[in-house]
Amino acid sequence: MEGTAVAFAPGHISGYFKRIDGDSPKTTGSCGAGIVIDRGVTASVTPSPKTSVIVTDRTPAGESLISYGSGLIEELLSGLGVCAKVETTSGLPIGAGFGMSAAAILATLTAANAVFELGMSAEAISELAHETEVAHNTGLGDVAAASSGGVAVRTAPGIFGVSSRFFPDAEICSVTFGSIFTPDVIGSPEKMAQVTAAFPVGEPATFTEFMMKSRQFAEASGLIPARIRPVLDACDEAGILASMTMLGCGVFAASDALEILSEFGTAVPLKVCPHGPTLLEV
């Protein structure tokens, strides 16, 4: 095996969710809804006698090396029975509720599948990515959503749980103040009980309905950090729909809220991504 394959997978902002436990990682996941976004992770995979991983982020706040090595990615490759030099580059901060872990897994698998000619279907890639996310407690519904584009509504756990997708031409904007360690939240029965009780009734059919349900959920979930309250208040005052990026210490707003969000930090304009993982180069 020679050469390098490069793939991109989109990130995902979860607006609301509830954990559903099945009898295996495949049937465990979440219901909810979120936006598949045009920033995500690019992974380059080059066959090599020994596996090595470099994790970088290239966000609007600048570029930085996050780590040498990633347990998640190393385990993934070893499960496939291959060794490679992998570089993942995240377009948004890791751990901040932008689904970067799911994007990293999907992008790495898509590139590895191409360069090693593994013959996995898109469905098999999503299945393995979902099981890996759930097994590591780094996400529940991000893989199902980010396996394709749009605003994804999930009514059952697992990769076949997406009941509808819609594709608004919306200007979205986000600001983040840091991470919330996802396993601490989705691994806590107390937190999950409050999250389940906060789950909104009915499914959104429009972007506005999605934003309203997301905010209603965030308020009732007990998850809103004090740090983001002034940002939500400023959006409310300006009549802009906004909510918390699940699960990160940040806010996403509908419409072009760049000016308002920039008062609080580095604001990032986003669009709804129309597609799932894509092979860029092989």
Ligand X SMILES: Nc1ncnc2c1ncn2[C@@H]1O[C@H](COP(=O)(O)OP(=O)(O)O)[C@@H](O)[C@H]1O
Nearer to ligand 2JD, 16 or 116 (CB): 16
Among 114, 159, 186, 234, which residue interacts with ligand 2JD (rule: CB under 6 A)?
Answer: 186
CA distance 197 to 216: 12
Residues 113-152 that bind ligand X (CB under 6 A): 138-139
Partner in contact with 176, chosen from ligand X, ligand 2JD, none, beta carbon below 5 to 8 Å by kind: none
Nearer to ligand X, 204 or 248 (CB): 248
User: Do 77 and 61 contact (CB within 8 A), yes or no?
Assistant: no
Nearer to ligand X, 176 or 255 (CB): 176
Partner in contact with 40, chosen from ligand X, ligand 2JD, none, beta carbon below 5 to 8 Å by kind: none
Residues 6+ positions from 92 with CB-CB distance below 8 Å: 11, 37, 39, 40, 57, 59, 98, 100, 174, 176, 268
Nearer to ligand 2JD, 153 or 246 (CB): 246
Partner in contact with 88, chosen from ligand 2JD, ligand X, none, beta carbon below 5 to 8 Å by kind: ligand X
Under rule CB under 6 A, residue 182 binds ligand 2JD: yes
Residues 119-138 that bind ligand 2JD (CB under 6 A): 138
Span of 83-91, 114-122, 213-221, 243-251 interacting with ligand 2JD by CB under 6 A: 243-251
Binding mask 43-82 for ligand 2JD (x = CB under 6 A): ----------------------------------------
Under rule CB under 6 A, residue 14 binds ligand X: no
Binding mask 63-102 for ligand X (x = CB under 6 A): -------x-xx--------------x-x---xxxxxxxxx
Footprint on this chain of ligand X (rule: CB under 6 A): 41, 55, 70, 72-73, 88, 90, 94-102, 104, 138-139, 182, 248
| Interface positions with ligand 2JD (CB under 6 A) | 14, 17, 30, 32, 34, 97-99, 101, 138-142, 182, 186, 246-248
